[in-house]
A = this chain, B = another copy of it.
Amino acid sequence: MNEEATRRRATVHDVAKAAGVSLATVDRVLNGRSGVRAATAEKVEEAIVRLGFSRDLNASLMARARDLKVVFFIPDGSNEFMDSLAEAVARRSMLALSDRMHLSTRRIRALDAGSLAAGLDALDPRDCDCAVIVTSEEPEILAAVDSATRRGIAVMTLVSDLPGSARKHFIGVDNVAAGRTAASLLGRFLPQGGKVAVIAGSLHLRDHLDRLHGFREVLARDFSALELIGPLEGHDERAETQALVAKLLTDHPDLAGIYNLGAGNMGLVTALEAVHNQTSPRVIAHELSASTRAGLVSGAIDVVLDQNPDGEIREAIAAARALALGAGRHVATDPIEIGIFLRDNLR
Contact = CB atoms under 8 A, between A and B. Distances in A.
A347 B343 contact: no
B54 A98 contact: yes
Contacts of A100: 58
Contacts of A9: 97-98
Contact of A62 (B59, B178, B184, B302): B59
Contact of A339 (B59, B97, B337): B337
Copy number in the complex reads 2
Interface string A306-345: 0000100010000000000100000000110111101111
A302 B58 CA distance: 46
A183 interface: yes
Contacts of A183: 344
A58 B67 CA distance: 13
Given A58-B99, A191-B189, A191-B191, A177 B310 contact: no
A228 interface: no
A214 B344 contact: yes
Contacts of A343: 184
Contacts of A190: 191
Nearest to A179: B344
Nearest to A59: B62
Nearest to A2: B104
A56 B101 CA distance: 13
A35 to B, nearest CB: 29
Interface in A128-183: 174, 177-178, 180-181, 183
6 contacts: A98-B325, A177-B345, A180-B345, A184-B343, A190-B191, A339-B340
Given A56-B62, A181-B344, A337-B347, 12 more contacts: A9-B98, A177-B345, A180-B344, A183-B344, A188-B188, A188-B282, A189-B191, A214-B344, A314-B334, A337-B339, A337-B345, A340-B345
Would you list the 7 A-B pairs with minimal beta carbon distance, nearest first?
A180-B344, A58-B58, A340-B340, A181-B345, A184-B344, A184-B342, A177-B345
